[in-house]
Homo-oligomer: A and B are copies of this chain.
Amino acid sequence: MEKKVAIYRKEHFNAAHRLYVPEWPDSRNLEVFGKCSNPNYHGHNYELVVKVTGVPDAKTGYVINLSDLSDLIWKHVLVKFDHKNLNLDTKEFAHLNPTAENIVLVIYEILREKIDPVLGLSVRLYETERNFVEYPA
């Protein structure tokens, strides 16, 4: 039987964002999103952990070359989001509230298209050390 191993790569990016529902008045946004609805944005050091699952190659002992995985995350995720304002500078969050939940779903979709379908994928995102999300659950 083939033995599946999970391999993880941790990356990070820094971004600004604001949480709000455009059709709601400021008062309701403040009620639901609290300080996170500040109209002038706030920001985070996001820590991103990408998990890839598969059977290690019999010769190399690699599930995936972590250097390739790191390059792929850089090219398709970090270039888009690092040192950006998620609401203003990205098409992904132009009309989608950049909660941690939505960010992790977006990053998963981006990476899922780029990683060999034979490999499993899941993504964890730390917004702060105390608040984080994962997809799939």
Contacts and interface: CB of A to CB of B under 8 A. Distances in A.
5 contacts: A6-B135, A21-B60, A40-B84, A41-B43, A120-B137
A96 B61 contact: yes
Contacts of A85: 16, 38, 40-42
Contacts of A89: 38, 40
Contact of A42 (B16, B134, B135): B16
Interface string A22-54: 000000000011111010111111000000011
Copy count, this protein chain? 6
Contacts of A19: 61
Contacts of A6: 133-135, 137
B82 A35 contact: yes
Nearest to A59: B21
A21 B57 CA distance: 12
Contacts of A65: 32
Given A3-B105, A45-B45, A131 B8 contact: yes
A74 B3 CA distance: 25
Nearest to A35: B83
